[in-house]
Amino acid sequence: MPEVKQSILSSLNKRLDLVKPGAIRAFDNEISSIPDILKLTLGEPDFNVPDHIKQAAIDSINNDDSHYAASNGKIELRQAAANFLKDRYDLDYDAQEEIIATVGATEAIYTVLTSILNEGDKVLLPTPIFPLYIPITIIDGAEPVFMDTSANGFVLSPEMLKAAIEEHGDKIKAIVLNFPSNPTGVTYTAEEVQALADVLRDTNIIVISDEIYSELTYDAKHASMAKYLPEQTILLNGVSKSHAMTGYRIGFLAAPAPLVARLGLIHQFTITTATNSAMVAATEALSTAAGKQDTLDMKAEYQKRRDYVYDQMTQLGFTVPKPNGAFYIFAKIPAELSQDDVAFARDLAYKNKLALIPGSAFGPGGEGYVRISYAASMTTLQEAMKRLGEYIEESAQA
């Protein structure tokens, strides 16, 4: 392997020195070498992509659909996304001017933050939160500002938001909201969304509303921030979670046309356009009755698993905020066990071969918690709860 000069290595983008590799992946890599480890670590559906969606991708390839699409994505997909947002959440977006198809919600996050941030800007992040927003904010020269929501059932209150605005003032360029939430599974009611919108309306703060789990709500219909504050909201969504299509890498963003015109530049300079066959598959997922039913079928399964894991964890002595969306449970470690969540998760992984993610990977307020992804088969979850029960019993005896 050729050796790279130290003088070259030390001359790379300095901001990369400020970010750490993703803590979830790092922990997952660490425990993956443990023999027979059972992992409930990664946030991805265990279902296969439905056959009619696969067929759409295959047809696209066989039809020689192999040339560059429009940079903002195939118009059929953008139209399907616009219709989906209208049908499910009563939102009005113009497919041509107000939607960009992205390479997963991940690229949408990168595109949005990179398009809007200037050096020294601040980005409000209610925590615990999906960590990806943090390194991108830092690489863009801006500063994440954390608002710990753990004392309020993991929901950002208007009072907390007002306090942050008072403290950080005009430096705040954006707030990221993610509900239903990864990692807590908690979501916001329409009233809660509206109350935050009412605070934000009088500011210049852009709302990046990551609603990638919007189709997976169990107790009430999802309420989108874009319904209450469309003029300041950049909405993110996609098919990764709703249709178990994580590997296809298709997401989308929706925002008023003048914002989309700017976002489209970074999108174009970064990826040109998403992959044709994946865009055709996502169009099938979003625009057909079968695609709508796929999500309902998966959701029914997730709900059974959520109920099972919630009951088991509660019985084992964990305190669990009511998870009413996504496919995560965020559980407070029982008081008699180690409250160092990293030590707890590591010990559980090595001794009883069950891997969960330490809550502190999701920022302030996550300490002392673990995240369980229940996007796994019922048999796997039953075995996981058995191992967790044994660990607790053995720890109590130790």
Ligand X SMILES: Cc1ncc(COP(=O)(O)O)c(C=O)c1O
The site for ligand X (CB under 6 A) is made up of 43, 104-106, 130, 178, 182, 210, 212, 238, 240, 246, 251
State which residue, 238 or 358, has the beta carbon closest to ligand X. 238
State which residue, 310 or 362, has the beta carbon closest to ligand X. 362
**Strand ranges (DSSP E) for the chain?**
38-39, 99-102, 122-127, 143-148, 172-178, 206-210, 233-238, 251-254, 328-332, 354-355, 357-358, 369-373
Least separation in angstroms between residue 25's CB and ligand X is 11
State which residue, 174 or 212, has the beta carbon closest to ligand X. 212
Contact 187, 324 (CB under 8 A): yes
State which residue, 140 or 337, has the beta carbon closest to ligand X. 140
The vertex-68 CA angle with 49 and 286, nearest 5°, equals: 30
Least separation in angstroms between residue 371's CB and ligand X is 11
State which residue, 117 or 165, has the beta carbon closest to ligand X. 117
Least separation in angstroms between residue 42's CB and ligand X is 8
Residue 330: both structure tokens together? 């965020």
Least separation in angstroms between residue 268's CB and ligand X is 18
Least separation in angstroms between residue 345's CB and ligand X is 18
The total number of residues shown for the chain amounts to: 398
Least separation in angstroms between residue 358's CB and ligand X is 17
Least separation in angstroms between residue 81's CB and ligand X is 13
Least separation in angstroms between residue 208's CB and ligand X is 10
Closest alpha carbon to 212 in 365, 328, 368, 57: 328
Residue 117: both structure tokens together? 């941030």
State which residue, 60 or 187, has the beta carbon closest to ligand X. 187
State which residue, 313 or 375, has the beta carbon closest to ligand X. 375
Closest residue to ligand X: CB criterion = 104
Least separation in angstroms between residue 214's CB and ligand X is 11
Q: What are phi and psi of 119, to 5 degrees?
A: -55, 130
State which residue, 104 or 385, has the beta carbon closest to ligand X. 104
Contact 120, 255 (CB under 8 A): no
Torsion angle defined by CA atoms of residues 171, 150, 372 and 237, in that order, rounded to the nearest 10 degrees: -40
Q: How far from 251 is each of 69, 122, 169, CA to CA, in Å?
A: 15, 25, 32
Cis status of the peptide bond prior to 128, with omega within 30 of 0: yes
Q: Which residues are CB-neighbours of 48 under 8 A, at least 6 positions away?
A: 244
State which residue, 370 or 385, has the beta carbon closest to ligand X. 370
> What single string gives the DSSP state of each residue in 115-137?
HH--TT-EEEEEES--TTHHHHH
**Is 212 strand, coil or helix?**
coil
